[in-house]
Structure 1
């Protein structure tokens, strides 16, 4: 059904976390229009620069437009400066998001690796504020997993631990939130580069059978 005036469509679950060697990012693949599932295989993880990505939540058109603008500015920046940092990308995103907060329905997680500070995660909720955190979650499914993430996240996790943490958190959110679903896409960003992973719906663990 169509959204009511003033109602926001933020149906998704996105998450990112720092680990020992960089950051991991993850998102479900369901895209909705009100109560209608428009696709079960959306890609909500977008590359902004070589080792900087973001997860998108909110209006697809809004988040894609902002992502394209920031990607363009980062390309220009890297021509006349050194490679941009994750914070540079997050600040650009914050500027655009805040200055257009009255017309945008968009929330982001920006994460990446750079030589100055290693792996970093930044969250930009609705309204355009910017917060650095060891892990970040947002979207409609995030309300179901704050306690899980707070209790199980720990600093300096190994890569496999971090991937398992994200997979289980997303599986829990997808099992409870009607707007999150489909499969899981993940990205691992380290000094060596970016590794993309895809977990098919049939391979996602049930909420009562999670791997430790």
Structure 2
């Protein structure tokens, strides 16, 4: 891979305080994210789209430095475009995750980048990979990241069940992200979700005034 000087990206860096997650289900994966981008205590953008298209049937969610993660995502997108042309078939999700891991690990002292890679391929179906700060690749049935994730580990651990279908998974992602956005000052705005299956990619949008409130369901 061509070397990239990530040090030059640090000038004017925007921190991606965020809540991101991906969950595999019986037919594919659901990915979701809030839409708030912060610069310290300043909200730079309240409607950011943090679901980044990488390849056909593969998306990623980014946390850390917006400059770092966007540069890495652009690089991987380029390499996967070349791969799909040469191999003439869908890129395996594991291949995309391995490329992210390689770049993040090789630049672990320069990057602030945590990535969740998820999608569908004909080998594994729907799959989710977590590439945390510093590098590493971990396939998981679900993954969460960003500043808001610290508030919802208990909720996700106690709520998620294997074998869920599409509607149950969408509801789970919606509730988890809404909870994180209510608790984390660096997360907020709207919820964007993407449903990736063999049939294709479907986007979902939940405006800020329609976010579910879990406390209301307990009354």
Q: What 5-or-longer segments of structure 2 have no aligned partner? A: 1-13
Distance in 2 separating the partners of 1:210 and 1:116: 39
What is the match of residue 42 of structure 1? 48
- Three-state SS of the structure 1 residue aligned to 2:44 is strand
| Equivalent of 2:207 in 189, 200, 207 | 200
2:103 counterpart of 1:79: no
Counterparts of 1:11 and 1:210 in 2: how far apart (Å)?
28
Q: SS of the residue aligned with 2:76?
A: helix
TM-score (norm 2): 0.91
Aligned partner of 1:23 among 29, 37, 48:
29
Structure 1 residue 210 displacement after superposition: 4.7
- 1:97-125 deviations in whole A, cap 9, x for unaligned? 11011111110100000001100000011
Per the alignment, residue 67 of structure 1 pairs with 73
2:16–2:37 Cα contact (<8 Å) kept: no
Runs of 5+ unmatched residues, structure 1 = 1-7
Q: Deviations over 1:64-86 (max 9, x none)?
A: 11000000000000111132100
In the aligned structure 1, how far is the partner of 2:92 from the partner of 2:20? Answer: 22
CA RMSD, aligned part only? 1.3
Paired residue for 1:119, among 95, 119, 126?
Answer: 126
Note the alpha carbon deviations across 1:138-170, whole angstroms, 9 max, x for none.
111001100100111111211110000000000
Give 1:129 shift.
1.1
Q: Distance in 2 between matches of 1:35 and 1:110?
A: 28
Structure 1 segments (4+ residues) deviating >2 Å: none
CA distance in 1, matches of 2:54, 2:207: 25
DSSP-derived class of the 2:215 partner: coil
Tell me which moved more, 73-82 or 186-195.
Answer: 73-82
Q: Distance in 2 between matches of 1:10 and 1:101?
A: 17
- Please say if 1:156 is aligned against 2:163: yes
Q: 1:172 aligns with which of 174, 179, 186?
A: 179
User: 1:76 is paired with a residue of what secondary structure?
Assistant: helix
Conservation of the 8 A alpha-carbon contact between 1:18 and 1:156? no
Count of residue pairs the alignment pairs up? 204
Displacement of 1:207 in angstroms is 3.4
Partner Cα separation in structure 2 for residue 210 and residue 78 of structure 1: 46
Correspondent of 1:188 among 170, 192, 195: 195
